[in-house]
Amino acid sequence: MNRSRNRFLYTLILAVVVVLGLMSRHLSAHLPHAINLMLGDAIWASMIFVMLAIVLKKTSTARVALASLLFCYAIEITQLYHAPWIDTLRATRIGGLILGFGFLWSDLVAYAVGVATAAIVEKISIKLNKKNSIKHTMITLPIYQVDAFTSKVFRGNSACVVMLKDWLPNNTLLSIAKENGVAETAFFTRKGDGFHLRWFTPDIEMDLCGHATLATAHVIFNHMGYDGQHIHFKSASGDLSVGREGDLLVLDFPHRKPFPAHLPIEIAESLNIQPKEVLLARDYVLVYETQEEIESLAPNRRLIDRINLDPGGIVVTAPGKEADFVSRFFTPQATIFEDPVTGSAHCSLVPYWCERLGKKQLYAQQLSQRSGELFCTDMGDRVLIKGNAITYLEGTIRVDESELA
């Protein structure tokens, strides 16, 4: 038994059992002999079980039953002993009820029946209470899985999107993200005319995530009946907005221009190809000369995991063959090492490549196994990132409220 008994409730039950015991004596003339032979002693044994259950409030049902049975048998065996003082006690009404009047083998059977009956009733009540508590403590949350920065399922970057009425504890949000097992899970609530948005990897809460924001906007536009042209989010990275432009969704994100930096030894030693330029904003930006170098990069996971860059990572980039630039994104010590498509990294990539190529609008490709494409515009202090999204699945999360503490 993993719960504590309610002593007030068990005291009421004890009173009922005592009343039943007294009534059994008055009803004996109307009951069959076989029942009369055992009924009073069985009720007495049940009373002992309830009394011990009150005292041993956290003890298992089985142990209370064993203690009750041993106590009853001990009392019965004492009835083999006769002396003037104890026989005088037995001659009284209360003494007779407690100590009995004489040893009978049938009483031993009656005690076993009484204790077993009480134990079975308690076990059944515990199971019923557990079932009822499960029914009343399960909450349901709608969930969508969306492939972002692609128009086809199984491509782009997959994100889960969970709509909440109120915020759940952080550890619950992280547990849901771990259970989902995708690169990012976005959680959002309604906030006035807009929404409040947060992002979790299976390991940490992020300050910004592009593909999960795109996925969230896709859900709001396509599954919530939102008929506006722009969605406004409050987030850890400030105010964000997502608009519609034909079939594309347009992210309005902060501008994070990277600046020259020194490459940490943990990163340098893990790379099979060294970069030509090293920059840093939230993420390290490693610039290479060709797309082939980006495709051939194979960071040594054992060596690169010596450094923790939370909430950032490492983006490698080079001029593309079909795109203005290409990239890949790696996160040391993360459950998902290579991110399929990283919208937030383009807050730094777009300013760099716009300045280098002398143009404001860029077409980008991320060269992960799933691949993805982004249409980007440098707005000076903001970056516009356009992409498609498609729903892969929709369903329901069931969470026990006991997990929300």
DSSP state, residue 358:
T
User: What is the model's pLDDT at position 42?
Assistant: 83
In angstroms, how far is CA 405 from the centroid of its own chain?
11
CA distances from 189 to 167, 196, 233, 390 (A): 7, 5, 10, 21
CA distance 89 to 290: 103
Closest C-alpha to 208, from 243, 172, 179, 239: 239
Q: pLDDT band at residue 307, thresholds of 50, 70 and 90?
A: very high
Identify the structural domains of the chain with CATH numbers, from first to last: 7-136 (no CATH), 139-241+393-404 (3.10.310.10), 259-389 (3.10.310.10)
Residues 328 and 306: beta-carbon distance below 8 Å: no
Q: Which position has the higher pLDDT, 295 or 90?
A: 295
Question: Residue 28 pLDDT > 70, yes or no?
Answer: no
Mean pLDDT calculated for residue range 290-294: 98
The total of other beta-carbon atoms located within 10 Å of residue 248's CB is 15
> What integer best gives the mean pLDDT of the chain?
89
Hey, what are 100's tokens? 């009995």
Residues 6+ apart with CB under 8 A from 264: 284, 307
The total of other beta-carbon atoms located within 10 Å of residue 291's CB is 19
CA distance 212 to 235: 13
High-pLDDT (> 90) share of the chain, %: 65
Strands (E), 149-299: 157-163, 184-191, 194-200, 205-206, 230-235, 238-245, 248-254, 259-260, 277-280, 284-287
As annotated, the active-site residues are 184
Closest C-alpha to 293, from 339, 323, 248, 327: 327
High-pLDDT (> 70) share of the chain, %: 87
Question: Residue 88 pLDDT > 90, yes or no?
Answer: no
Mean pLDDT calculated for residue range 90-115: 70
Amino acid occupying residue 66: L
The least confident of 63-72, 158-167, 218-227, 391-400 is: 63-72
CA distance 343 to 313: 13
Closest C-alpha to 218, from 155, 148, 273: 148
Question: Residue 1 pLDDT > 50, yes or no?
Answer: no
**Helix/strand/coil for 177:** helix
Mean pLDDT calculated for residue range 279-306: 98
